[in-house]
Amino acid sequence: MDNAVASGIAGLVDLQTGTVNRKIFSDPEIYREEIERIYARCWLFLAHESQLPATGDYVNVYMGEEPVLVCRDADGSFNAFINSCRHRGNKVCRADAGNAKSFQCPYHGWTYNVRGDLIGLPGHSELYRDQLDRSRWGLPRVAKVDSYRGMIFATFDPEAPSLDEFLGDIRWGLDMLFDQGDLVAVPGMARWTMDVNWKFASDNAIGDMYHGFWTHRSAVLSGHRSGNGQASLQTLSPSLENGFTMVTKYGHGFNANFIDKSQVDRSSPLSDWRFDPAVQAKLGPLRGKVNRANMLIFPNLFVNTGSREFMLRRPMGPAKMEISKTILVDKNLPADVQRMAVRASNRHFGPAGMFEQDDGENWDQSTLAAQTAISQRYDLNYAMGLGFGQTVDDGASPPRIDTLTNEHAQFWMYRVWAEFMAAGSWPELRASAQEPRGRM
Amino acid sequence: MSAAAIDLNGAMQLQYEIEQFLYREAALLDERRFTEWLDLLDPELEYWMPVRSTRSMGDEANEFAKLGEGAFYDDDKASMEQRVRKLYTGFAWAEDPPSRTRHNVLNVRITDRSDGLVTLECNFLVVRTRLANDNDMWSGLRRDVLREGAGGYTIVKRHLFLDHVSLDSKNLSSFF
């Protein structure tokens, strides 16, 4: 696709009116371009380092649509390569996780080490006459691998900026999670698929405080709590005040609501971190007041600082995605308190989660409604608060907007989506990408 | 009558009682009589459905997550009461309009009876349809511990081992 066509796609997000054309949630050609222009470029989350503690440990994950093996090397570094044999393309490893010294393709036996190098193939001398240059036929490696706070990321694009530059100010948000304790991944990943365009899940992650009081009303009314020491969940009406919104370059962002510490359930050890002076010193005054934040690492990682999860939503087509959920727990807590934390997360998020079961129902419906020709004439409205969001840059945080319920972050995600779709390369994108400034 | 025959009669009677209990329970769920179903859950209930992953041969011990790790259901009586309360709030979108379910309890094997507790294994096959076009099927192994009481059996433990790794379902808003 040439850049003029890509610019036309980007035009489906109307920056003046805050509206988005439904085609971007259903059109197969737009979806293919997203894979090229977003998933083939961005740094994408792979795993948490605690999931691969020993040499030879591996996890089978996805970067966008691509199956990727992540392996811990003897020197402690992480290798990531596409899990597809160079001979006929089969997966060389079909288990989700484990420990291995090498990977052997089940079709003809081509064998690769944990760095992805081709180290052997049946009949190399006799059948290939020693003519196959094994150094050229290793598993395709990602361009770069790097970590932030134990989160392993990789990109397929050698022109991508550093991970630090890509994450930019959202690191301040990730620190808000990782400064709560010594967090490690809990074994056991819930996985489920749904007929949903990945962007509906992402725009929910980056900042949809509007849906909580309504989508999750039944959970709130039933007395469910989300863990992390909250005495109760959010109120039954959406509030403009009492929290803030942050968006950053390259499409990341979050909403964070404040907690009234007099309302914290002090009988629950899950609230202890809120009163730990060492933790509070790291968080500082603004983050120290935060109840929980829902965060998006663009394009498709939901990070929840409340019950503490990563939820990766991998695209499987314009109207299908798989969610995989990883729970984080503070490894320094007593075993029974860790158990409480995991239980709270299990009950909150996941396909049976008191909250998440209703999300699945709603995103499915949004996606269905984006697929029909006549409905596609009617754009979706992401304009709540448009023009009223004043960014504040007072040094207390990266630039933020001091309101809680708005669609600034959601529409910001579509603005950045359009930047990615219009740009032909990372150098173009770095030149065109906007910073949040002024009124939004 | 031989001793073996007497044991067989006792075993058949217990098998009959247990199966009838399990079938009645399944019918309560299919008929959406959730409040009555709650009465069958013991105050000590441990209701657990661990997540699963694909593992290589030799690594089967890590297939299912363990108690205290990732789970689809990790519940007790109080949280099951919350789940039922949720359904009747008028805002439970995942179940309003309600799903249609068919709970099949199969291959019931009683493995132990002691101290007023009956331990059993069975297969489950739950079919759900939802709205016009949603179709889900969940199968697996179930391990139950039932308490024998004056008013009948109550469910003390229900461990559900799904046959699925990644569920092809937008949500799991049904009971098992």
How would you write the pLDDT of chain B (176 residues) with one tens digit per residue?
566 666 899 999 999 999 999 999 999 999 999 999 999 999 999 999 999 999 999 999 999 999 999 999 999 999 999 999 999 999 999 999 999 999 999 999 999 999 999 999 999 999 999 999 999 999 999 999 999 999 999 999 999 999 999 999 999 999 99
List of chain B residues whose C-beta atoms are within 8 Å of the C-beta of residue A357: 94, 171-173
Domains and CATH numbers, chain B: 3-162 (3.10.450.50)
Is A224 tagged catalytic? no
The span from the CA of B155 to the CA of B139, in Å, is 20
Of A188, A219, A364, the CB nearest to B65: A188
B56, A224: Cβ pair inside 8 Å? no
Q: Of A108, A164, A182, A276, which one is the catalytic site residue?
A: A108
Residue whose C-alpha is closest to residue A52's, from A150, A148, A143: A150
Q: Under the phi-then-psi rule, with left for phi > 0, alpha for psi from -120 to 50, and beta for the rest, what region is B97?
A: beta
B168, A192: Cβ pair inside 8 Å? yes
Q: Kindly state the DSSP code that residue A37 receives in the 8-state scheme.
A: I
Residue whose C-alpha is closest to residue A310's, from A283, A344, A350, A343: A350
Q: What value does the mean pLDDT take over residues A36-46?
A: 98
**Binning pLDDT at 50, 70 and 90, where does residue A78 land?**
very high
Is A211 tagged catalytic? yes
Is A109 a residue whose pLDDT tops 80? Answer: yes
Phi, psi of B49 (to 5 degrees): -130, 100
Min Cα distance A340 → chain B (Å) is 8
Class of domain A44-147: mainly beta
pLDDT at position A148: 98
Q: Kindly state the DSSP code that residue A38 receives in the 8-state scheme.
A: I
**Binning pLDDT at 50, 70 and 90, where does residue A1 land?**
low
Evaluated on CA atoms B30, B33, B38, B40, the torsion sign reads negative
A185 neighbors A48 (Cβ within 8 angstroms): yes
The span from the CA of A322 to the CA of B167, in Å, is 9
Give the Å distances, CA to CA, from A109 to A68, A135, A151, B55.
Answer: 19, 17, 33, 20
Tell me which amino acid residue A288 is: G
Segment A85-93 long-range contacts (CB within 8 Å, at least 24 positions apart): A85/A110, A85/A139, A86/A110, A86/A118, A86/A137, A86/A138, A86/A139, A86/A140, A87/A121, A87/A137, A91/A60, A91/A67, A92/A139, A93/A58, A93/A60, A93/A69
Three-state SS letters, A126-187: CCCCCCCCHHHCCCCECCEEEEECCEEEEECCCCCCCHHHHHCCHHHHHHHHHCCCCEEECC
Evaluated on CA atoms A48, A51, A56, A58, the torsion sign reads negative
A222, B82: Cβ pair inside 8 Å? yes
Is residue A285 classed exposed, middle or buried when 0-12, 13-18 and 19+ CB atoms within 10 A define those classes? Answer: exposed
List of chain A residues whose C-beta atoms are within 8 Å of the C-beta of residue B49: 352
Q: Would you state the structure tokens that stand for residue A266, as one six-digit string?
A: 């002090």
Cα B89 to chain centroid distance, Å, stands at 24
Q: What value does the mean pLDDT take over residues A174-180?
A: 98
Of B54, B72, B166, the CB nearest to A322: B166
Containing A412, the helix (H) or strand (E) segment is helix A408-422
Is the previous residue joined to A299 through a cis bond, with omega within 30 degrees of 0? yes
**A169-432, CATH topology level:** Naphthalene 1,2-dioxygenase Alpha Subunit; Chain A, domain 1 (3.90.380)
The span from the CA of A361 to the CA of A200, in Å, is 12
B51, A189: Cβ pair inside 8 Å? yes
pLDDT at position A236: 85
Min Cα distance B96 → chain A (Å) is 10
CB atoms under 10 Å from CB of B121, counted, come to 15
Q: Under the phi-then-psi rule, with left for phi > 0, alpha for psi from -120 to 50, and beta for the rest, what region is A137?
A: alpha
Is A439 a residue whose pLDDT tops 90? Answer: yes
pLDDT at position A226: 76
Residue whose C-alpha is closest to residue A139's, from A104, A106, A115: A115
Which SS3 state, helix, strand or coil, does residue A293 take? strand
How open is the CA angle A366-A372-A377, to the nearest 5 degrees?
Answer: 90
Q: What is the ipTM of this complex?
A: 0.96
Which SS3 state, helix, strand or coil, does residue A401 take? strand
CB atoms under 10 Å from CB of B43, counted, come to 10
Is A225 a residue whose pLDDT tops 90? Answer: no
The span from the CA of A44 to the CA of A5, in Å, is 26
Residue among B171, B174, B175, B176 with most chain A CBs within 10 A, to mutate: B171
pLDDT at position A234: 61
Q: Would you state the structure tokens that stand for residue A104, as one six-digit string?
A: 């052997």
Under 8 Å CB pairs connecting chains A and B tally to 144
The span from the CA of A408 to the CA of A389, in Å, is 7
Three-state SS letters, chain B: CCHHHHHHHHHHHHHHHHHHHHHHHHHHHHCCCHHHHHCCEEEEEEEEEECECCCCCCCHHHCECCCCCCEEEEECHHHHHHHHHHHCCCCCHHHCCCCEEEEEEEEEEEEEEECCEEEEEEEEEEEEEECCCEEEEEEEEEEEEEEEECCEEEEEEEEEEECCCEECCCCCCCCC
Min Cα distance A43 → chain B (Å) is 25
Q: Which residue has the tokens 């730990």?
A: A276
pLDDT digits over A257-267, tens only? Answer: 999 888 888 88
A348 neighbors A190 (Cβ within 8 angstroms): no
Is A276 tagged catalytic? no
Per-domain residue ranges for chain A? Answer: 44-147, 169-432
Give the Å distances, CA to CA, from A323 to A26, A119, A254, A311, A407.
Answer: 19, 34, 19, 6, 23
Q: Of A57, A179, A203, A208, which one is the catalytic site residue?
A: A208
pLDDT digits over A313-338, tens only? Answer: 999 999 999 999 999 999 999 999 99
B19 neighbors B122 (Cβ within 8 angstroms): no
**C-alpha radius of gyration, chain A, whole number:** 22
The span from the CA of B86 to the CA of B95, in Å, is 10
List of chain B residues whose C-beta atoms are within 8 Å of the C-beta of residue A362: 93
pLDDT at position A237: 87
Tell me which amino acid residue A389 is: G
B70, A188: Cβ pair inside 8 Å? yes
Of A191, A342, A352, the CB nearest to B172: A352
Phi, psi of A85 (to 5 degrees): -55, 140
Residue whose C-alpha is closest to residue A15's, from A363, A438, A419: A419
